[in-house]
Structure 1
Amino acid sequence: MLLFLWWPASADAQPKCELTTTAFKYMYQPSYLLAPRDLPIGGALSAWSAPPTGDHVYRCTGTGAFGLAMKVTGLSTAGMQTTGSAGGMVTVFNTSLPGVGVAFEGRIEAGSCRLTNVDLGGPGASSGSAIPKWTATDGQWLECTSAVQATEANPVFLRASAWMRYIKTGPTSAGLATFDQPLIELRHSINGVMTRANWGYTAWPLNVQGPPTCTTQDLTVAMGTHKSSAFTGIGTTSAPAKMFTVSVACPPDMRGNIAGVGASLVKIGYRFSAPAGLAVPAQGVIVLSSGSTATGIGLQLKDAAAVPLQFETLYPLTGYDYKNGTNFAIVLQAAYYQTSATVGPGTANAVVTFTLNYQ
């Protein structure tokens, strides 16, 4: 007589993972932002968003090595990196709107293994007993090195979260950036075998307003003729000072994104630069342009209250009327300023650059 004995395997012995949260989550992001005209390529168009409320969570039981992978889908890389929220460098991806890129960071947990502030466009560091992997197929993949016995009473949890930031990648114009679903694909693995993607993150469309259109005109200020004998020592100036006005016209409905949380009234500012350099910075005195023949003097600029201008300092234009637009008048005064013990006669020309800033 043959006797066959068979014991059914414990349910916990067969590894499995089940999603315990919503399959798709929307990442927090601005739905409307401003592309400042003077923002350099690589500059941030928004702040890093906050992670969505609650992680994506898988609950795993059975005996096995459990892992989790995150991958950006539907976007090509922009060929640049930006500074991540923790100071590391992360990959920038192109969106559907030229000149507007997006960077992602993520957090992946597989049991006791963790990847934090990880670049979703390339390899990252890990903590705990883990094997971080990076492939074009799977993206950023984290799997613990050894199998564990996970029971119903003591399961292994796989957790993920992601956040994003918009970056200027080139000349921008107004338009709408849209995203695929999922924008970030998440898949779990058991004993090194990756499952199909069935959960992830997506993002709402982004409405980008093109560069603001405040306008100003080039301005020439005639300083007149002054005798060198009128300067009696270093720090003395020509008199009277020449008053002039820089006019700035700003249209209505200029809005921007503040701190990455939504549309707000744009903040307008301006700064002055001296292409030839500064002679006496604290007194707002700039170096004369090349080609000038006068010696021992520079050009001093002050505001309407006779306070010397601080070059490369951002001054606010306050009182912008969002509904009707605003015309601003920046009143300044200019005078020649003695910088050396001796003043020599000649031509005395200077150039100042006026730049508007939008936030």
Structure 2
Amino acid sequence: MLPNNKNTFLLGLIICSLFWVSHTVSAACAWGVAGKEIISNISFGNVIVQRDYPAGAFITSAFTGQISGGSTLFRCTQAWNYRGVPVLFTRASSFGNTIYETNIPGIGIEIHQSLNNVPFSKPMAANASLSMPDPLSATLIKLSTGSVGAGDLTTGTLAYFYAEPEPKYRTTLALTGTNTIIPVACTLMTKTVNVKLDNAVISDFKGKGTTAKPKDFTIDLNCDAKTKIKLSLEGTSAGPAGVLALTAGKNQASGIGIQILKGTQVVALGKQLNFGTANAAGLKQLALTARYYQTAANIESGTANTTATFTMTYN
């Protein structure tokens, strides 16, 4: 009789063991309205990176729309962990474990889901569901001082957001399309260029379209050697080509604008001018002239201030 009892006991252990395994792997989650994994795509397009951005500086961000209209993505009947993990770029940068190095030297990436930065893990109660009314996003960060690398970011799955221990229940963020890093090869020696024109009197002007008191100035650049430089001027037009309207203010003059020239050539607003190539040391001065320009038949005295934005392109 003893052998029979031993066999019965062993059989009981096997049955209990099989039951325990079956209970552990049983599904605890179910899909929501979409009925499947949602894959959301982002792209950054062409990304200009200024050489004089400091390390750690924000470059740009890209966002998805609302995931599945903000509806439930999945629900789990047992307690679970909501996790976000990086997939494509996984090497942590020197700025911490939420900013990862990309395939382009000096460019990092941080991935966000609402207030959560990847990676993260959050405990969720039984019967809790996941929805994403806020978009997923990714941010590019400058990791290095000075210049960064150039080229296309590797595309693919950036991150998974899933249920643990049921990882097939997830939503995915992917990087697709064009994502080209374009480092800018020059640094402005002075962030703001102030030009003070000499005082003028009404008798300096001879009628609409006449000018007075030209003042030369330069924009000083430090560039990579042999960099080709182009410049365009943006601002509020006073009407005639290259004439900037005065900034509104107390005691402002009227009938006057400020015109910008390169030599004898008027710098038309929004159009690029070629300024040649930086020397072997990388230094370049962009020589320009500002002058008063009479825009109306009658002039009233007052202050004559204006602002403009210079946009430079390099290759």
TM-score above 0.5: no
Length-normalised TM-score, structure 2: 0.44
Length-normalised TM-score, structure 1: 0.39
| Larger proportion of helix | 2
